[in-house]
């Protein structure tokens, strides 16, 4: 059953990506609408596959790397669709879908080892993890948007306009979209972190402990807050802020991989 939905998800995402790329080149409104519709279908199938997987393993998707990455892909797709609808801009889809697909595919190729660390349960904890992964997804999206900004800005500066530049969103819109995405990430990471402390506090007999993840998360939060503020100042607005956004995301990736796998005792896969 889950296998069927996995295939459906892959087909819908691939078809959606094809339509987004075709839309980028042709600008046909119909193709753009099809891309969004297929993305919705992909999201629905992806959600069902996550649900079946969670029921099958009697655990939430973030107790193993597979589930965690798949959930990340799903939340990235949700964040992107919200942004697409809010800013009425479809051309970004062609650049975001490959990232979503990469996470989705990778989640099925990585070893299926559930975390050996015993993790707490409950609604507060579930919200803590979901909001944290949503924040990472929003930061990933802002990174894609910033990379698009930097590429388009370079093309315009160098006066090298290929076929695609005429179809890309205007620089200032990319900047606004990136701000929106970072704002979503900041709110969710702040709320997610606060809920994490509440969840730990509720654990019976839990001793206070130090986890390097706290420090890294705090640094990520401060750096994104700095980006959000600096991107409005004269010295940083434009390309510099976009570079900072990309740099911040490198740190998020490190937090998601190196810190989780090798340094943190309690944040194995989220």
Site residues, another protein (CB under 8 A): 26-29, 152, 156-157, 159, 161, 163, 165-173, 233-235, 237-240
Min CB(145)–another protein separation in Å: 15
CA–CA dist 140, 249 (Å, integer): 7
State which residue, 85 or 219, has the beta carbon closest to another protein: 85
Min CB(18)–another protein separation in Å: 17
- How far is the CA of 201 from the CAs of 25, 112, 129, 191, in angstroms? 53, 30, 15, 15
State which residue, 28 or 202, has the beta carbon closest to another protein: 28
What is the dihedral sign for C-alpha 223, 225, 226, 228?
A: positive
Min CB(32)–another protein separation in Å: 10
DSSP 223-263: HHHHHHHHTTSTTTTTHHHHHHHHHHHHHHHHIIIIIIIII
Min CB(242)–another protein separation in Å: 12
State which residue, 126 or 173, has the beta carbon closest to another protein: 173
State which residue, 221 or 230, has the beta carbon closest to another protein: 230
8-state DSSP, 174 = H
């Amino acid at each position: 059953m889950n296998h069927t939905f996995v295939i459906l998800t892959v087909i819908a995402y691939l078809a959606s990506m094809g339509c987004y790329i075709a839309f980028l080149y042709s600008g046909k409104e119909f193709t753009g609408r099809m891309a969004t519709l297929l993305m919705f279908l992909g999201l629905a199938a992806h959600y069902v596959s996550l649900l079946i997987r969670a029921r099958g393993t009697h655990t939430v998707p973030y107790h193993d790397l597979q589930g965690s990455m798949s959930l990340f892909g799903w939340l990235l797709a949700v964040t992107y669709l919200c942004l697409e609808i809010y800013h009425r801009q479809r051309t970004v889809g062609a650049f975001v879908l490959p990232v979503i697909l990469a996470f989705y595919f990778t989640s099925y190729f990585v070893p299926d080892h559930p975390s050996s660390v015993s993790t707490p349960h409950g609604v507060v904890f579930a919200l803590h993890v979901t909001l944290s992964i949503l924040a990472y997804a929003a930061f990933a999206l802002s990174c894609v948007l910033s990379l698009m900004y930097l590429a388009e800005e370079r093309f315009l500066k160098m006066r090298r306009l290929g076929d695609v530049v005429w179809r890309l969103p205007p620089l200032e819109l990319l900047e606004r979209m990136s701000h929106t995405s970072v704002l979503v990430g900041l709110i969710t990471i702040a709320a997610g972190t606060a809920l994490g402390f509440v969840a730990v506090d509720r654990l019976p007999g839990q001793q206070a402990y130090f986890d390097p993840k706290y420090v890294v998360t705090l640094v990520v939060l401060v750096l994104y807050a700095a980006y959000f503020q600096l991107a409005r100042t004269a010295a940083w607005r434009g390309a510099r802020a976009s570079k900072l956004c990309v740099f911040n995301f490198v740190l998020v990736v490190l937090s998601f991989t190196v810190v989780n796998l090798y340094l943190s005792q309690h944040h194995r896969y989220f």
